[in-house]
Structure 1
Amino acid sequence: MNREQISELAHADHPIKSPIDDDSVRLLLERGAPRGDERVLDLGCGGAEWLLRALAAHPELHAEGVDISEDALLRARESADRLGLQGRLALHHQEAAEFRSPHSFDLVLSVGSTHAFGGLLPTLAAARGHLAPGGHVLIGDGFWDREPSREAVEMLGEFADLATTLDRVVADGWTPVHGHVSTRRELDDYEWACWGSLASWALDHPADPDSAQVLETATLRRGEWLRVYRDTWGFVSLVLRRTSD
């Protein structure tokens, strides 16, 4: 079973692939698209979960998503068809960093996808190229809530603390107009959901040739979370505007 298949199983009970609960997602989208008739772009949309929620809440909103996963985009199309939203959703199968559009967007999203661009600031640079004057960017990324171990840095990557993260965003020409720091409950709920979903699938499919691998992965990842980064890693979602258009 490949990495994408394992990720899909892991997120069966937590479709938002970041430690953010439903109420927080709703509020972030409301702050990012306050009129309700915006044109929205998600760079690294996966199954388009954010876009589908925005479209369902706002019947005049239009959205586009970009992702390299054919399977994820297929799921997005099936979900849009089921919800009757397909007429307002365009999906593009390509690298998010290479996407070009003839028009700009009122809201550009990239939550939990900054790795596709090489980090937070490169992701903001990409978003800037798609953003209409006066528009918003909704971005979500990790930070260190306290000093991490070397093992945690090697596992999750180079992050700054929250204050430094915001300083870098502001210095890059952005002004935060809303933000959400994921709570301990959101962080824990996300991890329990991911590794619990994997473990449940393995136990429900003991005859599947991938069952042992999936259960081993769930056990390994749960242990890494509890022992390596649970007490040090956090997640922040920011709604930003360009300081000067």
Structure 2
Amino acid sequence: MDLPREFTVRESGHRIHNPFTGEKLALLGRAVRLRPGTTVLDLACGSGEMLCTWAREHGVAGTGVDISTAFLTGARERAAELGVTGQVRFVHGDASGYVADEPVDVAACLGATWIGGGAAGTAALLERSLRPGGLLLVGEPFWRRDPPDQATVEGCHASAKEDFHDLPGLVGLFGGLGFDVVEMVLADEDSWDRYAAAQWLTVRTWLDANPDDELAPAMRTELDGAPLRHVRYVRPYLGWGVFALKRR
């Protein structure tokens, strides 16, 4: 049970595996008013940057769950680097079936809502681990502009326009599920660039070092098209944000 190897290669230089910068992640922690002792569950936690930095900056404690052994190794190293190994732990497993042993104050899934079959299902999954009155954090894409054709849809890594809502539609979805949207922090074009463009250098560096690897032809093809796809489709059309939700 692990991520496909090409995903690990592509994002091996990332600490944050979505279009958020460290500054955006720090802003989110301040925006939701974290306090020392807050307990956090992070499903599909990737390299654990949210938990590790929030443990250092805000005194939270928590658990991250992810399917990637490589990313979890990085998360544990990051926890040691920041001196928070006593506050956070990382579990290798399928986040789609994970429920905390004890209810937590904050349950999060940032950018991996496929674990619940979409934003609504992921909110329901997270709520199973949440104490009454606790806070959900859901990271999800949305259309910034109406995609004009199927090429744009597919260029934004979707199969159909209906895969994503626009921003009012997404906020309305959460409201319709019985949640108050109490905060949000949105990606911008720069944070999208830091997520996407950093992958190109990582892939090129890997290709230079591994020209005979069996994965090299596929990664070469990906790099040939990724920059143009990003600037033509993702950057102008696709938004992303983290939404803080509380049950009404």
Shift in Å, 1:6: 3.1
| TM-score, normalising length: structure 1 | 0.88
Aligned residues with identical type, % of pairs: 27
Displacement of 1:169 in angstroms is 0.5
* Aligned length in residues: 241
Matched ranges for 1:135-154 at <5 A: 135-148=134-147, 149-154=149-154
The residue that corresponds to 1:114 in the other structure is 113
In structure 2, stretches of 5+ residues that fail to align are none
1:162 and 2:164 matched: no
- 2:195 paired residue among 183, 187, 190: 190
Q: What residue is the counterpart of 2:61 in the other structure? A: 62
- Give the Cα–Cα distance (whole angstroms) in 2 for the partners of residues 236 and 58 of structure 1: 21
CA distance in 2, matches of 1:133, 1:31: 20
Q: How far is the alpha carbon of 1:159 from its aligned partner?
A: 0.3
2:46 maps to 1:41: no
Q: Is the Cα contact below 8 Å between 2:185 and 2:242 reproduced in 1?
A: yes
Matched, 1:174 2:179: yes
User: Bigger CA drift: 182-191 or 42-51?
Assistant: 182-191
Q: Deviation of residue 206 (structure 1)?
A: 4.5
> Is 1:76 the counterpart of 2:75 in the alignment?
yes
Match of 2:228 among 223, 226, 231: 223
Distance in 2 of aligned mates of 1:207 and 1:55: 41
State the secondary structure of the residue aligned to 1:230. Answer: helix
* Structure 1 range deviating more: 111-120 or 194-203: 194-203
Match of 2:7 in 1: 7
Does structure 1 retain, via aligned residues, the 8 Å contact 2:43–2:95?
yes
How do 1:71-110 and structure 2 match up within 5 A?
71-110=70-109
Q: In the alignment, does 2:239 pair up with 1:234?
A: yes
SS of 1:231 mapped into structure 2: helix
In structure 2, what residue type is equivalent to 1:160? H
Change (3 A) 1:203 1:71: closer
* 8 Å contact kept, 2:42–2:109: yes
Encode CA deviations 1:132-169: one digit per residue, 9 max, x unaligned.
12221111110011111223434324001100110010
Aligned equivalents of 1:153, 1:213: Cα separation in 2: 22
Separation in 1 of the partners of 2:213 and 2:99? 42
Q: Is the 8 A contact 2:19 2:191 kept in 1?
A: yes
Q: 1 CA distance for matches of 2:81 and 2:185?
A: 31
CA positional deviation for 1:220: 2.5
Structure 1 Cα separation of the partners of residues 5 and 227 of structure 2: 18
The Cα of 1:15 is off from its aligned counterpart by 1.9
Task: Give the gaps of 5 or more residues in structure 1.
Answer: none
The answer to whether the 8 Å contact 1:33/1:107 transfers is: no
Counterparts of 2:79 and 2:233, CA distance in 1: 38
